[in-house]
Structure formats: C-alpha cells, structure tokens
Amino acid sequence: MTKYGVIVGSTRKNSYSLGVAEALVAGLPEDAEVTYLDIAKLPLYNQDYDENSPVEYTEFRDAVKAQDAFIMVTPEHNRSVPAALKNALDVASRPWGQSVWAGKAVLPASQSISNIAGVVAHHVLRNSLDFLDMKIMHQPELFIGNTAELADENGKITNEDTKAFLANVAGQFAEFAKN
C-alpha cells in the first residue's frame, strides 16, 4: 500500500486547488492511504529555528517523512506559488542536509480561473521540487484552466470530462510512484 500526501497550495475555504486535488485522489487505487497535510498554520521558516524547531515544524516534517508520494496542487499568485506552499517546502527541507522530500515521487498540478491555468506557478513549483531531489512525474503536465467553469461554488470539480481526466492521471501516477 502506498501512502500519498496531498498538499494544496491554496489555504482558502472552498479552493479550486482543493477540488482538483480531491478529483486526483479519487483516481488513486482503492488501497491508497491518503493524508492531506495542512500547511496553513506553519510558522514562516526561519533558520534560527533549526536548533529548536517549533512543534508545527516537527509534526509537519514527520508527516512528510511518513509519505511515499505526493500530490501537490497550486494556484498561481503573482506568477509564482502561494507563500504558504513555498514555506511548507522550505520547512521540510531544513535544517540543511536533513530534507525529508528527497526521493519521494510527486505529481505537481496547477489551476487557475483564467486560461493561463497557473502555468508559471507550475514551473516555479517544479523547479523547487527538482532542487529538493523529488521524483517528478512530468507528463502529462497538469495545467487546469478556467476552474470556475469546471467546479461548483464549493470548489468541487463537477465537469465529468475533467474528473475523468484527473482520475486517469492519478492512476498513471500510482504506477509511476511504484517505480
């Protein structure tokens, strides 16, 4: 059984990123163990905490360490990833030399209410994941545009073609994560 961690870059209630993540999770194998990791309450990374980390850092690092693979879905904020997502990546990559991300499979996805689909955020995220020595599933690239038209008012993906596409990609990711 594979343990999948899910990290959603948007901390907004009813976020479209969460809806995309849930649609991906729906396509994972039935025996998948899925844990959504909350990044909203992580204190901002500060190197001064490396010697005496806040309990939130330790709990988050332990949660990351316990996963075999990750699904990460992000919106685009000012042509980058949201601060909360970047902070989570930083917290679990430190202290220097003690990153808990290395070697873990990851499926990055971006979404946007615009046609541009968070493409820039997606590439910013992949640059960080690559540096963190994660095993990135590069194809198919998941740029989900016009999410407001694909989801309901609660952020849940309702478009059947999109749901089927995301579930199919998650199935491919399950195979990718095994290798």
Task: Give the predicted TM-score (pTM) of the model.
Answer: 0.95
Tens-of-pLDDT digits for all 179 residues of the chain? 899 999 999 999 999 999 999 999 999 999 999 999 999 999 999 999 998 999 999 999 999 999 999 999 999 889 999 999 999 999 999 999 999 999 999 999 999 999 888 899 999 999 999 999 999 999 999 999 999 999 999 999 999 999 999 999 999 999 999 97
CATH domain 3-178 topology: Rossmann fold (3.40.50)
The helix or strand, by DSSP H or E, that contains position 128, with its residue range, turns out to be: helix 119-131
Contact between 25 and 168 under an 8 Å Cβ cutoff? The reply is no
Structural domain boundaries in the chain: 3-178
SS3 163: helix
The pLDDT value recorded for residue 117 is 81
Half-sphere exposure of 126 (CA within 13 A, CB side): 17
- pLDDT tens digits, 52-101: 999 999 999 999 999 999 999 999 889 999 999 999 999 999 999 999 99
Q: What is the DSSP letter of 132?
A: T
Identify residue 36 by its one-letter amino acid code.
Answer: Y
Tokens representing 72 are 């990460």
